[in-house]
């Protein structure tokens, strides 16, 4: 049975008043944990994606087109060589990165970027290997371009990556590039969650495999701009977070072949104030698990299953570009509550958990930081 829709109606004044503004170096007592906010590193150019290596170093992307390794003491490496050119305009650039589950032996990683092609821009997914000396990417191969390319605009690239736990498949998100009708078109890769094999092929059990009127890579559709993707370590469900327009941000449990409604169904309105749709739900379309009105601007997400913060075990964390970190308390696939952390501290782009179970947050700033939430 699908979990009941959980709607958060948060006035801006209420959101800002939920807690005092946190500071770096400050100890924070939250509902379920006590922690100190530490700046691990500063001086990154809008860090966007991150993945921890088995040895505890953090591989991080900078939207301008750089990739670096950050040591546990905060030392940043020189930019890794071999990253292909990116279209670093608007919301585009070098975006997410994810390590294959067998990275320790294969050194394989996937990343995505905004790229130029055929007179326009699109979301591109790339597979590569990190060299043994960690200085460069090798065997760099374009796996998929989220066609068709689009000449106008540099927004809504989506671009998150999540490997299935067994490593056989990889899930990828694409935005509808601010052309809302693309999300409903099955012959178009924009506004979708995609599923590929590790080799980049189309799995035989994908919902639209073999249909002449649809792209076989599609796993679900009707998404606006999904920048959060994570698999629950408890239930194995695939969770996705996406931006609404004005209001209507969502968390979804992604199901095979499901239509998530955009723009035919939405809790948000257009930036102009005009209605996008009068429908909040409709037959044949999947309701979100969580909706926020007004927006919280959720970008990267991560489940917490570490030992450093026992009170956070099982929680889903969302990095909010509206300057807050959101914790959703979970019971299986059911949301049981929400906590807003670190209000007004920074624009948060992504949240990742270290092998030691310590939460790290990437800030969306030209003088970007990685903040670490240490037990206190």
Which one is predicted more confidently, 11 or 57? 57
Q: How confident is the model at residue 7 (pLDDT cuts 50, 70, 90)?
A: low
Average pLDDT over residues 225-232: 98
Q: How confident is the model at residue 15 (pLDDT cuts 50, 70, 90)?
A: very low
With a cut of 80, say whether residue 2 has pLDDT above it. Answer: no
> What is the CB neighbour count within 10 angstroms for residue 362?
29
Q: What is the pLDDT of residue 81?
A: 98
Distance CA 211, CA 209 (A): 6
34 - beta bridge partners? 29
- The catalytic site residues sit at 156
Q: How confident is the model at residue 10 (pLDDT cuts 50, 70, 90)?
A: very low
Average pLDDT over residues 291-320: 97
Q: What is the pLDDT of residue 255?
A: 98
**CATH code of the domain made up of 6-375:** 2.120.10.30
Residue 200 has what DSSP assignment? Answer: S
Domain boundaries, the chain: 6-375
Rounded to 10 degrees, what is the CA torsion of 266, 248, 299, 318? -120
Q: pLDDT over 90 for what percent of the chain? A: 93
Q: How confident is the model at residue 21 (pLDDT cuts 50, 70, 90)?
A: low
């Amino acid at each position: 049975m699908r979990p009941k829709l959980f709607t958060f109606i948060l006035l801006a004044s209420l959101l800002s008043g939920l807690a005092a503004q946190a500071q770096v170096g400050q100890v924070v007592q939250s509902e379920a944990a006590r922690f100190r906010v530490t700046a691990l590193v500063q001086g990154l150019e809008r860090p966007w994606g991150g993945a921890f290596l088995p040895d505890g170093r953090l591989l991080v992307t900078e939207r301008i087109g750089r990739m670096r390794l950050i040591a546990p003491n905060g030392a940043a490496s020189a930019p890794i060589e071999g990253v292909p050119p990116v279209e670093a305009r608007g919301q585009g650039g070098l975006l997410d990165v994810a390590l294959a589950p067998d990275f320790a032996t294969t050194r394989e990683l996937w990343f995505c970027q905004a790229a130029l092609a055929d007179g326009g821009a699109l979301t591109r997914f790339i597979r590569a290997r990190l060299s043994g000396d960690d200085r460069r990417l090798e065997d760099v191969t374009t796996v998929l371009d989220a066609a068709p390319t689009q000449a106008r605009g540099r927004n809504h690239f989506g671009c998150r990556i999540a490997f299935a736990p067994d490593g056989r498949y990889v899930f990828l998100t694409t935005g509808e590039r601010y052309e809302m009708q693309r999300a409903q078109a099955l012959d178009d890769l924009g506004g979708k969650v995609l599923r590929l094999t590790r080799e980049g092929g189309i799995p035989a059990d994908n919902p639209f495999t073999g249909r002449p009127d649809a792209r076989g890579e599609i796993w679900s559709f009707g998404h606006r701009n999904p920048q959060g993707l994570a698999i629950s370590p408890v239930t194995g469900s695939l969770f996705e977070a996406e931006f609404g327009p004005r209001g209507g941000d969502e968390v979804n449990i992604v199901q095979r072949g499901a239509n998530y409604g955009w723009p035919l169904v939405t809790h948000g309105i257009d930036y102009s104030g005009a209605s996008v749709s009068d429908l909040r739900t409709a037959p044949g379309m999947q309701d979100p698990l969580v909706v926020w009105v007004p927006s919280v601007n959720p970008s990267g997400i991560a489940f917490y299953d570490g030992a450093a913060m026992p009170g956070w075990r099982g929680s889903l964390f969302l990095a909010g570009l509206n300057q807050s970190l959101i914790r959703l308390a979970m019971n299986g696939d059911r949301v049981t509550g929400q906590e807003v952390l670190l209000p007004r501290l920074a624009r948060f782009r992504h949240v990742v958990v270290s092998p030691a179970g310590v939460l790290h947050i990437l800030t969306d700033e030209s003088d970007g930081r990685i903040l670490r939430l240490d037990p206190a």
